[in-house]
Amino acid sequence: MVSVLEVVDLHIRYGTGAGEARAVDGVSFSIEAGEYLGLVGESGCGKSTIAKAVLGILPPNGRVAAGEIRFQGRDIVRLPPAEFRQMRWRDIALVPQSAMNGFDPVYTVEQQIEEAIVAHVSWPAAERRKRIEELFAMVGLERQRLSDYPHQFSGGMRQRAMIAMAMVLDPTLVVADEPTTGLDVIVQDQILQRIKAIQEQLQKTMLLITHDMAVVAENCDKIAVMYAGRVVEYGGKEVFRTPHHPYTLGLCNAFPDLDDRERELISIPGAPPSLVDPPRGCRFAPRCPFATPHCSDVDPPLVEVAPGHSAACHYLDRAAEFRRMSEDPEIWRRAGEAA
């Protein structure tokens, strides 16, 4: 069977004053029907860029330089704009990072959900209304609130309305880009659980973007770890059970573990590199506690470490050792000082 979404060697660049930023630099992954893929990485790694490319809403200075995005086998990058426009929301919907500002402030929530329907299907008004009410019930919003303006909603309510809006045409693929950013922790959990429930009930294919490893571990059945425009580790649940890439190890350390709540949280010192002029060799080398001179010279390829599980590091054979060592906060601290 053909994958719902297959991203093949995707390159996306932004024109900036300082030169071209290679925000996405040769990324490949695929999502099968009913799968829940988590795309994880620190801020600035190119995650949202991928989401925007999948929905065809890259800003004017961004372009797909090479590669393909196949939706049910069809390359949507090269689709005629009119045809792509018809696919949006009906086939691929988005739950955005910015629920706060994701709604137009001068239209009611209902009007905005309704216009998504009207743009794609010709249901009579009553049916539209029924569908919207049904979805509001599904995400736990009162139907009286339909005629409210976005500013009358709390952050969590807005995000739930966003989820309702994303589901309104029963899309094949739902992309959720950091759907819980800016919400308080309890609301974050509610939102994530709601998305998970919808995914399971409706057998939705989902792409969840987040910087929080714990969220992925809890929700997703497939993971792609991104660093500086590239996928550095990719696979099923074993990616966080037996992580192989030092960056994945770092991310796992940075978020609370459900099984081991006592563990000290260690964030990776430093920040992702500039994508206008990324470092030669392994892009993680400047921050990696295990980096060798070889690392900053030669780019490690993505290789399979087990069936369906791959990582891009020169020292995959020492993964077990790295895992052990990375539990020591000191080793990260030292890497940070060295950088």
Partner 1 sequence: MQGFRRYVIRRLMLLVFVIWCILTIMFGLFQLLPGDPTSIFIDSNFSPDMIERQKELWGLNDPIWLQYLRYIRNMALFDFGQSFFQIAPVSEIMADKVKNTALMIVPALVISIVLGTVIGAIAGWRRGSKFEQSTVATSLFLHSAPSFFVGILVLMVFSYQLRWLPPGGMVSLGGPDGFWEMIVARDYWVHLILPGLVLVSREITGPILLLRSSMLEVKGSDFLDILRAKGLPERQIVTHATRNALLPLVTYIAVMTGLLFQGQVLLEIIFAWPGIGRELVQALNDLDYPVAQAALYVMALVTLALNFIADLLYGVIDPRVTYE
Ligand X SMILES: Nc1ncnc2c1ncn2[C@@H]1O[C@H](COP(=O)(O)OP(=O)(O)O)[C@@H](O)[C@H]1O
Report the interface residues with partner 1, using CB under 8 A. Answer: 52, 55-57, 85-90, 93-94, 96-98, 100-107, 115-116, 119-120, 149, 151
Residue ranges in 14-53 that form contacts with ligand X under rule CB under 6 A: 14, 16, 21, 23, 41, 43-49
For the CB of residue 212, give the shortest distance to ligand X in the complex, in Å. 12
C-alpha 34/C-alpha 198 separation (Å) is 11
Residue 180 CB, nearest distance to partner 1 (Å)?
16
Q: Which is nearer to ligand SF4, 90 or 309 (CB)?
A: 309
40 binds, among partner 1, ligand SF4, Mg ion, none (CB under 5 to 8 A by kind): none
- Closest distance of CB 246 from ligand SF4, Å: 4
Residues 6+ apart with CB under 8 A from 87: 71, 76, 79
* Residue in the shown chain whose Cβ atom is closest to Mg ion: 48
* 285 part of the interface to ligand SF4, by CB under 6 A: yes
CB 62 within 8 A of CB 289: no
Among 178, 290, 309, 335, binds ligand SF4 (CB under 6 A): 290
Q: Are 164 and 132 in contact (CB under 8 A)?
A: yes
Q: Which two tokens stand for residue 258?
A: 């459900």
The residue with its CB nearest to ligand X is: 48
- Binding partner at 61 among partner 1, ligand SF4, ligand X, none, C-beta below 5 to 8 Å by kind: ligand X
Residues 48-77 that bind ligand X (CB under 6 A): 48-49, 59, 61-62
Is the distance from CB of 281 to CB of 240 less than 8 angstroms? no
Per-residue x/- marks for ligand X, 246-275, CB under 6 A? -----------------------------x
* Rounded Cα distance, 268 and 287, in Å: 8
The one of ligand X, partner 1, ligand SF4, none whose footprint includes residue 16, by CB under 5 to 8 A per kind, is ligand X
d(CA 55, CA 207): 12
For 51, 77, 102, 196, the CA distances from 32, given in Å and listed in that order, are 17, 19, 28, 16
249 is an interface residue for ligand SF4 by CB under 6 A? no
Q: Is 300 in the site for ligand SF4 (CB under 6 A)?
A: yes
Sign of CA dihedral 172, 35, 225, 3: negative
Compose the 23-52 pattern: x for residues touching Mg ion by CB under 5 A, - for all others.
-------------------------x----
H helix intervals, 56-124: 81-87, 99-102, 109-118
Q: CA geometry: angle at 264 spanning 263 and 270, to 5°?
A: 135
CA distances to 10, 87, 162 from 119, rounded to whole Å, are 29, 11, 17
Least distance from C-beta 149 to ligand X, angstroms? 28
Closest residue by Cα to residue 45 from 265, 250, 239? 250
Work out which of 163, 223, 295, 305 binds ligand SF4, going by CB under 6 A: 295
Report the partner that residue 84 touches, choosing among ligand SF4, ligand X, Mg ion, none (CB closer than 5 to 8 A by kind).
none
Query: ∠ CA 126-130-135 to the nearest 5 degrees?
Result: 150
Say whether residue 147 binds ligand X (CB under 6 A): no
In our burial notation (b when 16+ CB lie closer than 10 A, e otherwise), range 21-30 reads bbbbbebbbb
Specify whether the CB–CB gap between 101 and 81 falls below 8 A: no
Looking at beta carbons only, is 68 or 148 nearer to partner 1?
148
Residues that bind ligand X (CB under 6 A): 14, 16, 21, 23, 41, 43-49, 59, 61-62, 275
Residues that bind ligand SF4 (CB under 6 A): 245-246, 282, 284-285, 288, 290-291, 295, 300, 313-315
